Amino acid sequence: MRKRSYLTVRNLPADVAAELERERKRRGTSLNQTVISAFLKEFGFDWERKTNGLLALAATWTAEEFDDFERAIHEVAEKVDQDLWR
């Protein structure tokens, strides 16, 4: 098992802190994960999970919204375009 390391950064320049915050918001991740990703990228590790940007939306629908979506998909999927099948 790998030992976890902890780091406290003191006297972080305000412009660096502001850039980290902008990046955190852009990614929709925690500040901790944003800093780890920046370190990994800087040190040449390709560990960052590739994403299509939709992770922030995962599990955000209500049950009613999901049901509406399912109904809409079912309606479209059940329609047969007769001209297409001639």
Mean per-residue pLDDT of the chain: 84
With pLDDT > 90 as the criterion, what percentage of the chain qualifies?
A: 34
Query: What distance lies between CA 36 and its chain's CA centroid?
Result: 15
**For residue 21, what pLDDT is reported?**
95
Extended beta strands in 1-86, E state: none
Residue 40: is its pLDDT beyond 90?
Answer: no
The owner of tokens 């660096």 is 16
Kindly state the average pLDDT of the residues 21-36.
92
Q: Are 38 and 20 in contact (CB under 8 A)?
A: yes
Kindly state the average pLDDT of the residues 23-51.
84
With pLDDT > 70 as the criterion, what percentage of the chain qualifies?
A: 88
The owner of tokens 């972080």 is 12
Domain ranges of the chain: 14-78
Kindly state the average pLDDT of the residues 41-68.
78
